Amino acid sequence: MNRLARIGTLAMLLVATSLAQALDLSPAEQAGKRLYREGLSSSDAQVSARVGAADMLVPASVVPCASCHGADGLGRAEGGVRPPNLSWQRLALGQGQRQANGRSYPAYSDASLARAIQQGRDPAGNPLDPAMPRFVLSMADQRNLTAYLKRLADDRDPGVQDQVLRLGTLLPTQGPLAASARVVAAVLDDRIEALNQQGGIHGRQLQLITLDPGPDQASAEQALTRLLEQEQVFALIAPLAPALEPTLAARLEQARVPLIGATPALTTSLQIFDPLPGLREQLLSLADYAQANLVLQRADTRIVYADASQEELARRLEQELQHRGWNGIQARPLDEQASNAQAIFFLGQADDFKRLTELLQRAERTPYLLAASSQVAGQLPQLPDAWSRRVFLAYPFVPGDWTPAGRQALDGLRQRQGLDGRQGALQVSTWCAMQLLGDALKRIGRDASREKLVLALESLHDVQTGLTPPLGFGPGRRQGLAGAHVITVEMPGPVFRPVAAYRPVTEVNTP
Ligand code: HEC
């Protein structure tokens, strides 16, 4: 078999397995699902709905059922009138009177359900609140919708089984990230085992599926596809697959899969929750510090980036700093670096940082250098003494953040998993990712859905990890920490001297 044919067969196998594992819906139920989620009919006919007390007619695609009742049908508490849970068990099968929003009514039948959806009356004849649209449906569309509503409660998101909740990650077994991957795996295994020993979450054991993203983007894409389609994981946790950067956000959004963990600098998506601050927040913390404490002609500052992949972030920072009064700040590639700058924000890796300091030394200059610790820490011991107190680094957390309990928990983890203090930052960030995921899963209850997980993550505030400043997200906020500690480096040594404690960076609106 040639290579293409083999890939074709593999793709077919993948599709076949994923269909076998997903809920089998009949064509009518599928059509009903489309109507429920997207407001679209299976025929060419446009479905419409009357909304509000004034009965305004709009396409149903503007107000699909899922937009209020949730793709999972569990209802959402928004505003005063709550869209009820639409599980067929609750609507039709269970015994006795139902209650919702002060109405009391007997079980629904197919006919009274159609009346509720089309005319806005419940089985007792009570009018539904006008927040519930009245839909104009053909008989076929109504039949399909009813058929789907009867299956809705079983149409769970992938990875949610009776006894097990499946999580996925991508960790390379070879190459430069393999050692980091082993650390991440050790922390995840340890935390998951601890949760499972306490009985899991809402009666489900957590199961982690780990795949190797392989050497390049194509292999990483394939591994991600396998996790989502064949392995049917519910959410992703702490993957190490930088090759996915160009497509990750779009893939997650399309599949609506939440990811908890650090991702490369530029990948932002509402599906991605990063426990720690991004490079942007770290550099802005440094800028806040410099603005308040270093005597700078801010016209003579640069943002230096080591390779083209960082240009976009560098340009964004350039704009943001200009709005904060850093007139004349300029983003430049490392190699075009004009050495007369007084302060340089650095974006790159440890080797690039070394190259930058060497370039500057040759020009006999030691400007302030400001960088995220994760990007340069490896190079610091080699810095000449002339750089003493000229280098300022952002740290998401410092040992001063560690409570006795946090330290003890981390020590216990290291002992059980044979880890030492190396890759401490990665240990802590993975620990935090797992804690945030666990907390959010506990909040959403037994009816787990990806949508609910995203909402629950958004609702986490002031999460105490014992190892970091308190973490939290919010609607639209996807970084667990909105700033960093600032540390300066004294030579000889290096001696790391805290100069500003963590606080969220001041957000300045950029037009
Ligand atoms: C704009 C928001 C919104 C949309 C869109 C919407 N609903 Fe509702 N729905 C509500 C609200 C709010 C209620 C509660 C009304 C009340 O209790 O008086 C409700 C009530 C209901 C009820 C009554 C449940 C009960 O327990 O009595 C059913 C059934 C229902 N919706 C089905 C649907 C279906 C099916 C669709 C899509 C075709 C849909 N809804 C679209 C907001 C919405």
Q: How many domains does the chain have?
A: 3
Residue 202 and residue 67 in one domain: no
* Lookup: tokens for 47: 């479905």
Given a cut of 50, whether residue 93 has pLDDT beyond it is: yes
Q: How far apart are CA 352 and CA 347, in angstroms?
A: 9
The stretch 60-75 carries a mean pLDDT of: 88
Given a cut of 60, whether residue 120 has pLDDT beyond it is: yes
User: Is residue 64 within 8 Å of 91, Cβ to Cβ?
Assistant: no
- Residue 2's pLDDT is 44
For a pocket test of ligand 1, which of 99, 128, 144 has the largest count of ligand atoms closer than 8 A to its C-beta?
Answer: 128
Distance (angstroms) between ligand 1 centre and the Cα of 127 equals 11
Residue 353 and residue 490 in one domain: yes
Structural domain includes residue 473: no
Residue 235 and residue 295 in one domain: no
Among candidates 295, 461, 458, 310, which has minimal Cα distance to 372? Answer: 310
Listed in sequence order, the residues at least 6 apart from 14 whose beta carbon sits closer than 8 Å to its beta carbon are 225, 226, 229, 230
Element (H, E) at 450: helix 450-458
Residue whose token pair is 């009903």 = 32
Residue whose token pair is 């869209």 = 83
Q: Which atom of ligand 1 is nearest to the CA of 105?
A: 27
Question: 250: how many CB neighbours lie within 10 A of its CB?
Answer: 11
Quick one: 294 exposed, middle or buried, by C-beta within 10 A (0-12, 13-18, 19+)?
middle
**Domain with 96 in it:** 27-154
The stretch 320-324 carries a mean pLDDT of: 92
pLDDT one-digit tens code per residue, 401-443: 999 999 999 999 999 999 998 899 899 999 999 999 999 999 9
SS3 content of the chain, % helix, strand, coil (to 5): 45, 15, 40
Compute the mean pLDDT over every residue in the chain, rounded to the nearest whole number: 90
The stretch 475-484 carries a mean pLDDT of: 93
Q: Which residues line ligand 1 (CB under 6 A)?
A: 63, 65, 67-69, 81, 83-84, 86, 98, 100-101, 103, 113, 116-117, 122, 128-129, 131-133, 135, 145
Among candidates 344, 268, 350, 250, which has minimal Cα distance to 300? Answer: 344
Q: How far apart are CA 271 and CA 253, in angstroms?
A: 6
Domain boundary among 154, 184, 214: 154
- pTM of this structure: 0.76
- Residue 77's pLDDT is 59
- Residue 6's pLDDT is 45
In the chain, pLDDT over 90 holds for what percent of residues? 69
Confidence of residue 76 (pLDDT cuts 50, 70, 90): low
Residue 298 and residue 379 in one domain: yes
Structural domain includes residue 7: no
Structural domain includes residue 17: no
Can you give the C-alpha Rg of the chain in angstroms?
A: 27
- Residue 173's pLDDT is 97
For a pocket test of ligand 1, which of 47, 69, 98, 150 has the largest count of ligand atoms closer than 8 A to its C-beta?
Answer: 69
Residue 335 and residue 231 in one domain: no
Given a cut of 90, whether residue 138 has pLDDT beyond it is: yes
Residue 495 and residue 388 in one domain: yes
Listed in sequence order, the residues at least 6 apart from 88 whose beta carbon sits closer than 8 Å to its beta carbon are 149, 150, 151, 152, 153
Listed in sequence order, the residues at least 6 apart from 142 whose beta carbon sits closer than 8 Å to its beta carbon are 114, 117, 118
For a pocket test of ligand 1, which of 132, 143, 146 has the largest count of ligand atoms closer than 8 A to its C-beta?
Answer: 132
Among candidates 370, 373, 392, 396, which has minimal Cα distance to 502? Answer: 396
Given a cut of 50, whether residue 18 has pLDDT beyond it is: no
Residue 306 and residue 177 in one domain: no
The stretch 80-98 carries a mean pLDDT of: 90
Domain boundary among 96, 126, 154: 154
* Lookup: tokens for 124: 């007792």
For a pocket test of ligand 1, which of 68, 135, 136 has the largest count of ligand atoms closer than 8 A to its C-beta?
Answer: 68
Residue 442 and residue 317 in one domain: no
* Lookup: tokens for 417: 């998993």
Q: Which atom of ligand 1 is nearest to the CA of 129?
A: 18
Given a cut of 60, whether residue 373 has pLDDT beyond it is: yes
CA 489 to chain centre: 33
Residue 417 and residue 271 in one domain: yes
493/143: higher pLDDT: 143
Distance (angstroms) between ligand 1 centre and the Cα of 83 equals 5
Distance (angstroms) between ligand 1 centre and the Cα of 123 equals 13
Instruction: Give the helix ranges, DSSP H, for 226-258.
Output: 245-255
Residue 308 and residue 372 in one domain: yes
The stretch 473-494 carries a mean pLDDT of: 93
CA 163 to chain centre: 25
Bridging pattern class, strands 48-51 and 134-136: antiparallel
Distance (angstroms) between ligand 1 centre and the Cα of 443 equals 24
- Residue 9's pLDDT is 44
Whether the CA torsion 311, 317, 318, 320 is positive or negative: it is positive
CA distances to 6, 266, 327, 468 from 351, rounded to whole Å, are 41, 20, 29, 28
- Residue 461's pLDDT is 96
Q: Which atom of ligand 1 is nearest to the CA of 63?
A: 5
Residue 181 and residue 214 in one domain: yes
CA distances to 288, 382, 431, 494 from 284, rounded to whole Å, are 6, 26, 25, 24
Given a cut of 60, whether residue 53 has pLDDT beyond it is: yes
CA 28 to chain centre: 34
pLDDT one-digit tens code per residue, 252-278: 998 889 999 987 666 778 999 999 998
Q: How far apart are CA 446 and CA 435, in angstroms?
A: 18
Distance (angstroms) between ligand 1 centre and the Cα of 121 equals 10
Among candidates 460, 482, 489, 486, which has minimal Cα distance to 473? Answer: 460
Distance (angstroms) between ligand 1 centre and the Cα of 379 equals 60
Confidence of residue 79 (pLDDT cuts 50, 70, 90): low
Structural domain includes residue 2: no
- Three-class SS of residue 482? coil
Structural domain includes residue 8: no
- Residue 371's pLDDT is 96
Quick one: 111 exposed, middle or buried, by C-beta within 10 A (0-12, 13-18, 19+)?
exposed
Nearest CA to ligand 1 atom 36: 65
Residue 119 and residue 83 in one domain: yes
- In this structure, what CATH number is given to the domain that contains residue 323? 3.40.50.2300
User: Is residue 296 within 8 Å of 262, Cβ to Cβ?
Assistant: no
Structural domain includes residue 187: yes
Structural domain includes residue 213: yes
> CA-based angle 498:502:503, to the nearest 5?
145
Confidence of residue 298 (pLDDT cuts 50, 70, 90): confident
- Residue 258's pLDDT is 97
User: Is residue 367 within 8 Å of 468, Cβ to Cβ?
Assistant: no
Written as one string, the DSSP assignment of 377-392 is GGGGGG--GGGTTTEE
φ/ψ of residue 317, rounded to 5: -65, -40
* Lookup: tokens for 256: 């609506």
* Lookup: tokens for 482: 């909105």
What is the Cβ-side half-sphere exposure of residue 28, based on CA atoms within 13 angstroms?
13
Q: How far apart are CA 1 and CA 406, in angstroms?
A: 56
- Three-class SS of residue 467? coil
Among candidates 381, 380, 339, which has minimal Cα distance to 362? Answer: 339
User: Is residue 171 within 8 Å of 184, Cβ to Cβ?
Assistant: yes
Domain boundary among 106, 126, 154: 154
* Lookup: tokens for 27: 């064509």
Confidence of residue 337 (pLDDT cuts 50, 70, 90): low
Structural domain includes residue 136: yes
pLDDT one-digit tens code per residue, 204-260: 999 999 999 999 999 999 999 999 999 999 999 999 999 998 899 999 998 889 999
- Residue 484's pLDDT is 96
Confidence of residue 23 (pLDDT cuts 50, 70, 90): low
Q: Which atom of ligand 1 is nearest to the CA of 101?
A: 17
DSSP secondary structure code for residue 334 in this structure: G
